[in-house]
Amino acid sequence: MDNTMAYSLADFNYNDNPDVLSPPADFEKWLSHPGVQAAFSLFEQPLMSAPVIRTEVINNFDHKRRKVINLTSYNYLGLCTHPEVIAAAKAALDKYGLGASGAALLSGTFDLHIELASKLAAFKEKEACVLFSGGLAANMGAIQGLLRKGDVFIMDEKCHKSLIDGGTLAQARMLFFAHNDMDSLVMMLEKNKGVRTMVAVEGVYSMDGDLPKLKETVEICEHYHAAIYLDEAHSTFMFGKNGRGIGEHFGVEDRIGIVFGTLSKVLGGVGGFVCSKASTIRYLKCYSSPFQFSCALPPAIVAGVLKALEIATRDSTLRDKLWENVAYFRKQLLDMDLNLGDSASQVIPIIIGSSGEKLLSMALEIQKRGLFLQPVDFPAVPANARRFRLSVSSALTKQDIDEACNIIHDVIAVGLKN
């Protein structure tokens, strides 16, 4: 029996090909399988216009250009095409040109960068903020800047690869506690008493959409004198009465030592930021490769993000609309008996089970019907919980949601019953 489809990207990391530039021989063979090619066709499909709700995509599997309802882009508050954001970016393009032409440390810092860092720090109620040119770079750079060889870095097992990469770069000893399991966290802290320790959790887990047990985590970490790193990539600007994020939502933001967020989701641009005490940020900058040796954010992006920050936080209108859409979407999906896991956010998984073949055939069909909803397969998620992952946006209309749900019903709900 051909079990080619049982293999995944988790199986081809090791490479003993004597030519370093060549992939492993069995990887090429695996790639040539029609089923694997069909799965790969879902990667790098080009969007032909902005990542808004109604956009156009060229599907790789048949090379057709389709008008789609977009439930995959992270444009959570619809700000990446907001007219004020575009106007701010255009004005900055005219004034500053295209790129920063240098790393932030030496020549790439502009007045706009200082303004954005200062406003982000003020918003997050921390003393200082450092900007990075990418979200992944920010996590890696922050961990590299602070942890040293022999330090203990304890993460929730569902933490993002960027945190793991940061731990690897810092040569920290990494431990992963069972997801949201406080006993598991306590056991690891107990075993490493007396060692410099940082604990990382996420505001919204990116594949499950669930929240951390943040209050309990904070109390435990304070008891063990462990620092807390809160990754708010998918939660900042959306949660909390004032949109300050999950820390505010749980009433513990002043007890979180260091917080991370991105500029690429709600704020519609690209990049990442880290906020903490001024002394922490000053020191971190000195030992962070992505800060010191990577070109700074383009000024036009920074200008657009500054405007997006202002719009996202001027009042709760956009957040309220987002949560209204989340509630409406969830109700319809639950009425179809779909498994949404423990999602409590704008990230909603539709868990279909352990069949990679079923996931793939549904994924292709869904996109043929004009819904840009990407599947998430093993190893990004557990093999027995493969899924689709919806990103709800405040920009969705009721009609968008109804149309999307019709397609989801016809392809996924019906498909799962058969």
**Residues acting as catalytic residues:** 206, 234, 265
Residue from the set 131, 142, 174, 305 that interacts with another protein by CB under 8 A:
174
Q: What does the alpha-carbon distance between residue 189 and residue 167 come to, in Å, rounded to a whole number? A: 17
Task: Look up residue 81 and give its two tokens.
Answer: 């095409």
Q: What's the residue count for the chain?
A: 418
Site string for another protein, 54-73 (x = CB under 8 A): --------------------
Q: What does the alpha-carbon distance between residue 165 and residue 256 come to, in Å, rounded to a whole number? A: 22
Task: Look up residue 67 and give its two tokens.
Answer: 């008008």
In 220-283 the beta strands, taken as DSSP E runs, fall at 227-231, 258-262, 272-276
Give the residue among 141, 150, 132 at the shortest CA–CA distance from 169: 141
| Residue 8 binds to another protein (criterion: CB under 8 A) | yes
DSSP string, 349-378: EEEEES-HHHHHHHHHHHHHTTEE--EE-T
Residue ranges in 106-135 that form contacts with another protein under rule CB under 8 A: none
Q: Quick one: 231 exposed, middle or buried, by C-beta within 10 A (0-12, 13-18, 19+)?
A: buried
Q: What does the alpha-carbon distance between residue 73 and residue 86 come to, in Å, rounded to a whole number? A: 18
Site string for another protein, 257-276 (x = CB under 8 A): --------------------
Tell me if 267 sits within 8 A of 82, measured CB to CB: no
Q: Supply the minimum distance, in Å, between the C-beta of residue 53 and another protein.
A: 34
| Residue 25 binds to another protein (criterion: CB under 8 A) | no
In 9-147 the beta strands, taken as DSSP E runs, fall at 54-59, 64-70, 128-132
Contacts of 403 (CB under 8 A, 6+ apart): 69
Comparing CB distances to another protein, the nearer of 9 and 86 is 9
Binding-site residue total for another protein (CB under 8 A)?
Answer: 21
Q: Supply the minimum distance, in Å, between the C-beta of residue 378 and another protein.
A: 5
Residue from the set 57, 88, 136, 164 that interacts with another protein by CB under 8 A:
164
The angle subtended at Cα 200 by Cα 196 and Cα 206, nearest 5°, is 165
| Residue 378 binds to another protein (criterion: CB under 8 A) | yes
Stretch that binds another protein, among 7-15, 31-39, 79-87, 221-229 (CB under 8 A): 7-15
| Residue 195 binds to another protein (criterion: CB under 8 A) | no
Tell me if 291 sits within 8 A of 130, measured CB to CB: yes
| Residue 159 binds to another protein (criterion: CB under 8 A) | no
Tell me if 177 sits within 8 A of 188, measured CB to CB: yes
Residue from the set 134, 269, 271, 356 that interacts with another protein by CB under 8 A:
356
Site string for another protein, 26-45 (x = CB under 8 A): x-------------------
Residue from the set 1, 14, 19, 20 that interacts with another protein by CB under 8 A:
14
Q: Supply the minimum distance, in Å, between the C-beta of residue 201 and another protein.
A: 16
Q: Supply the minimum distance, in Å, between the C-beta of residue 412 and another protein.
A: 21
Which residues bind to another protein, rule: CB under 8 A?
3, 6-8, 10-11, 13-14, 26, 157, 164, 174-176, 191, 356, 378-379, 382-384
